[in-house]
């Protein structure tokens, strides 16, 4: 359990800010709460344009969440090659992909029953 129990909405807002701060693209929020036996309540999925960009997005999210909520991911994997980095904040799991890896794994397709919200970026990609 997290020490400071932030609301999921607050955590999601900070994660989205972290992604936008370094111009992550194609951001989707998947609401999994209506689906039985899911590992979390939400997925946030976005793309970076290179492994450097993927790592910059991950770092930006970590800094934003840590500074505001004093929370860190329970688990992170994939940073080594930075083609697909998974950040587990328990109720919210963030997937930061390079585009070709995202297309290959098609997380949105696998979770087709989820309610998907496309997040509009505040800049032109």
pTM over 0.85, yes/no: yes
- Over the stretch 75-111, which tens digit does the pLDDT of each residue have? 999 999 999 999 999 999 999 999 999 999 999 999 9
Domain spans, the chain:
8-119
β 42-48/92-98 pair status: parallel
Long-range contacts of 116-119 (CB under 8 A, 24+ apart): 116/28, 116/29, 116/30, 116/31, 117/28, 117/29, 117/30, 117/31, 118/27, 118/28, 119/16, 119/27, 119/28, 119/29
Query: CA separation (Å) from 16 to 1, 27, 46, 110?
Result: 22, 8, 9, 22
CATH of 8-119, one of 3.30.460.10, 3.10.180.10, 3.10.28.10, 3.40.50.10860: 3.30.460.10
The low-confidence residues of the chain, meaning pLDDT below 70, are: 1-6, 122-125
């Amino acid at each position: 359990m997290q020490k400071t129990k932030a609301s999921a909405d607050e955590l999601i807002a900070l994660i989205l800010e972290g992604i936008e701060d370094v111009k992550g693209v194609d951001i989707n929020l998947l609401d999994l709460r209506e689906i039985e036996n899911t590992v979390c309540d939400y997925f946030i999925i976005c793309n970076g344009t290179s492994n450097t960009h993927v790592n910059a997005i991950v770092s930006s999210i970590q800094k934003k969440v840590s500074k505001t909520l004093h929370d860190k991911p329970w688990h992170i994997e994939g940073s080594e090659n930075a083609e697909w980095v998974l950040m587990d904040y328990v109720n919210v799991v963030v997937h930061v992909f390079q585009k070709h890896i995202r297309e290959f794994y098609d997380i949105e397709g696998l979770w087709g029953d989820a309610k998907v919200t496309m997040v509009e970026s505040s800049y032109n990609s």
